[in-house]
Amino acid sequence: MTAETFSSTATNQRQWTPTGAAATGPAPRVALVGAHGYGARHLDNLARLAALDLVELVAVADPRPPAEGTLPDGVATFPSLEELLAAGTAPDVVILATPIQTHAPLALAAIAAGADVYVEKPPMASLAQLDAVLAAAHQAGRLVQVGFQSLGSHALPALDRLVASGAIGEVRSVSAVGTWVRTKGYFKRSRWAGKRSLDGTDVVDGVATNALAHAVATGLRIAGAALAADVVSVETDLYRAHATESDDTSVLRVRTAGGAVLLCALTLCADEQTPPSVTVHGTVGRAEFFYTEDRLAVTTPGGERTEVFGRTDMLENLLAARRSRGGDHGLLSPLAGNGAFMKVLEAIRTAEQPRAIGAGHVTWEGEGDDAHPVVHGIRQLVRRAAAAQATFAELGVPWACDLTRELPAAGESTAGAQAPFIVNGKVVARPADGSRIMPTSSPRPYLHPVSTLAGTVVTDHLPEDHVWHLGAGVAIQDVDGVNFWGGRTFTRDAGAYAWRKDHGRIVTLAVENEGGSRTETLAWLAPDGSPLLNERRTWSWAAVAASTWRLTLDFEITPSGPDPVKLGSPGSNGRPQGGYGGFFWRLPPVDGAAVWTASADGEDAVHGSVPSPAAPWLAWSGSFRNGEADGGPATLVFLPGTGAEQPGDPWFVRMAGYPGVGLSLAWEQAATTSHARPLHRTVTVLVADGLLSTADIEQLITTLGESK
């Protein structure tokens, strides 16, 4: 299938599709264990299949028998599977719709009795249990199907064909997102709900292992990970807003043996419930699979096309596999094929307890058992995490990290590689080495958060619109053909932006801290790891006035090899007004933003203008928004260095599309660095609380000059 087979207004509804040949001989005898909750859906499905002579429901086991008249005549009821099997019922298939912690012992009992097993998700509560049940099933020659219904969607093979066709280009990443709502009553429905363990037995309930487990399992399937060996590593970032043991708001980052990275961002604490999805991000488009709806939406430069697919019932698939005697190969969700999911569950099981999200970041809606928490801004944070392949902690979300604390914690060094910048006893900036930034965002060191003395944050990083924008630092899009800016690359030949495998990275070799300065020795590496540039970067900081401090960046770039190196930009490659590269400062959203110089006002007037003795600075002011907080009024004043070795770089300014300020090294022509003439630049930024006027700025600059 290619993308062209999608219709833009598909209306077909999801359908259950029969599988395999018609049954011959007596219908398989089925026993259902757990008749309430999801077990009630199995009763309905069994009634449908019985009407087709595909199954015979012979027994139900549940401590609370179904209501009278619910079961067909002749169906025996028992309080437990043990008693059901002891009665000589001898089912061919046992369905387990029971609490998580019971799955392994009940599956082992059913297999020992000679039955095939259908077990609801999550299949087991630990990897050890998975191994035990797999060994028993293999020895007995029995089938075990896991109830991940989304894996029966016909959209999945269609998506496989779509990706193979190249319709969305090369795959860059896979992400799974889910924003659901769960109430207090949801976690009161049973003793095990919301528990990591119960009476010393693993349960591992949680947003990723149970409520939105289909997002994880489907994401793994799309990322090509089925067996436990297909997962190289799992990083967990677990939080909770409910008064539970388990996580309800989490990020998982899974790296597969095939090189894919799956980022799952999931919550049960949204303001409203939306359809969860798994997205394949390609170099020319994307495909988003809404697995609860069997809907696949494909976006390419040609537009968006959507189709709704049918679905194979997982119990029917198990019955068909029994008839064909094809073993596990006939199953859509075999237990062994859930090894990758179980490796993720194991990482969650063995992780530290989820951190509670502070009450100040949560609003409760509803009353009594219908009350549910809403984590402030969580839907946007989930999207942002998925786009940046970043954890909540890496995004700098206040409830996920300690970046906003005023001073280093007791015993924390102020001289290490990540030592914060402190002015007047307050942390005003924190360095990040950028090593965990996704490869297509050109990992590099930067500063974030940078704040005023009153605590207003004036940088942003990993924003949803441009996830490769990283606080305050140095980035260049074209270094002899290597992208050290991140994102898509603009080339003269293409005359457009395109995703290319040309992303470099900047690594920190050494850090020297001395008083109010930090000097970094950096290496700029090509995609293959070969060195292109060496950089010596120095940050210095100091108080200027009661509500203002200064931050100075001085950097010098030289080639790693003997030959000169060209430093270009989209502007030097033919994109008008696109000469960004060099020093760049990404701002957060700013209400009432104003940008001006001593001689010009507004984005159009200052963008591309060159600093001069008459207009040596550029200012940006407004009310800075700090995520869920209101932020505060602040002004940034940018002062480029002067001197013969620092020619006037034009200002690069963005307001309408996103807020950012830079000094362009290559506005229309590429710059060059060599050992004879290293590229050297200096810029000072005054970070002030309040909305400053031009007169205020001139006075500050005068004070700055007197303090030197």
Pair (216, 294) in one structural domain: yes
Look at residue 704 in the predicted model and tell me its pLDDT.
Answer: 79
In this structure, are 360 and 461 located in the same domain? Answer: no
From 325, 354, 385, give the residue that closes a domain: 385
113 within domain boundaries: no
The average pLDDT across 175-189 equals 97
pLDDT > 60? residue 480:
yes
Residue 323 lies in a domain: no
- 97-108 average pLDDT score: 97
Q: Is residue 84 part of a domain?
A: no
pLDDT at residue 24 in the model: 65
In a domain, 390, yes or no: no
Please state, as a whole number, how many other Cβ atoms lie within 10 Å of the Cβ of residue 198: 17
CA–CA dist 676, 532 (Å, integer)? 16
**Beta strands, E only, 212-356:** 231-240, 249-256, 261-267, 277-282, 286-290, 295-300, 303-308, 311-312, 355-356
Let me know if residue 672 belongs to a domain: yes
Per-residue confidence at 5, pLDDT binned at 50, 70, 90? Answer: very low
What angle (nearest 5°) sits at the alpha carbon of residue 693, between those of residues 691 and 694? 145
Instruction: Flag whether 330 is in a domain.
Output: no
Q: How many CB atoms lie within 10 A of CB 695?
A: 8
Residue 689 lies in a domain: yes
Q: Which of 76, 83, 80, 93 is nearest to 27 (CA)?
A: 93
Tell me the whole-structure pTM to 2 decimals.
Answer: 0.92
Locate 368 and state its tokens. Answer: 């009594």
Residue 271 has pLDDT above 50, yes or no: yes
Tell me: do 358 and 485 sit in the same domain: no
Residue 29 is assigned to a structural domain of this protein: no
Q: Which two tokens stand for residue 99?
A: 């609490």
Q: What is the DSSP letter of 269?
A: B
Residue 136: the pLDDT is 98
Which of 331, 364, 385 corresponds to the end of one domain?
385
Q: 22 pLDDT exceeds 80?
A: no
| SS3 (DSSP) at 98 | coil
Report the C-alpha gap between 83 and 86 in whole angstroms: 5
In this prediction, residue 4 carries a pLDDT of 30
Same domain as 303, residue 449? no
Q: Which two tokens stand for residue 317?
A: 């698939």
Residue 564: burial class (beta carbons within 10 Å; 0-12, 13-18, 19+): middle
Phi, psi (rounded to 5 degrees) for 632: -170, 170
Q: Which tens digit of pLDDT belongs to each residue from 648-688?
A: 899 999 999 999 999 999 999 999 999 999 999 999 999 99
Q: Are residues 556 and 671 in the same domain?
A: yes
The reported pLDDT for the residue numbered 645 is 64
Span 379-396, average pLDDT: 96
Order of all β-strands in the sheet with 651-654: 421-423, 426-432, 446-450, 472-475, 582-586, 660-664, 651-654
Task: Find the mean pLDDT for residues 126-155.
Answer: 98
Beta strands 303-308; 295-300: pairing state: antiparallel
Q: Does 465 lie in the same domain as 355?
A: no
What pairs with residue 519 in β-bridges? 512, 538
How confident is residue 10, by pLDDT bands cut at 50, 70 and 90? very low
The tokens of 582 are what? Answer: 């060099």
Question: How many folded domains does the chain comprise?
Answer: 2
Q: Do 439 and 374 share a structural domain? A: no
Contacts of 556 (CB under 8 A, 6+ apart): 535, 536, 678, 679, 680
pLDDT grade for 416, boundaries at 50, 70 and 90: low
Does 412 have pLDDT greater than 50?
A: no
Omega prior to 589 cis, within 30 of 0? no
Can you give the pLDDT at residue 708?
Answer: 45
Residues 618 and 501 in one domain: yes
CA angle 610, 614, 618 (to 5 degrees): 55
Cβ distance 163 to 186 under 8 Å? no
Asked if 475 and 365 sit in the same domain, the reply is no
Asked whether the beta carbons of 246 and 194 are under 8 A apart, the reply is yes
Based on the domain organization, do 260 and 348 belong to the same domain?
yes
C-alpha distance from residue 216 to each of 174, 315, 344 (Å): 11, 21, 9
Query: Is 556:535 a contact under the CB 8 Å cutoff?
Result: yes
Q: Identify the CATH number of the domain in which residue 239 sits.
A: 3.30.360.10
For residues 450 and 430, give the distance between their C-alpha atoms in angstroms, rounded to a whole number.
7
* Measured torsion, CA atoms of residues 288, 289, 292, 293, in degrees rounded to the nearest 10: 90
**In this structure, are 542 and 632 located in the same domain?**
yes
User: What is the residue range of 359's domain?
Assistant: 164-309+344-385
563: pLDDT strictly greater than 50: yes
Mean pLDDT for 66-91 is: 94
Query: What's the whole-number mean pLDDT along residues 116-122?
Result: 98
Residues 458 and 348 in one domain: no
Looking at 60-191, list the stretches that DSSP marks H as alpha helix, in order from N- to C-terminal side: 81-86, 103-112, 127-140, 155-165
> Which letter, b or e, does each residue of 323-336 get, where b requires 16 or more Cβ atoms within 10 Å of its Cβ?
beeeebebbbbbbb
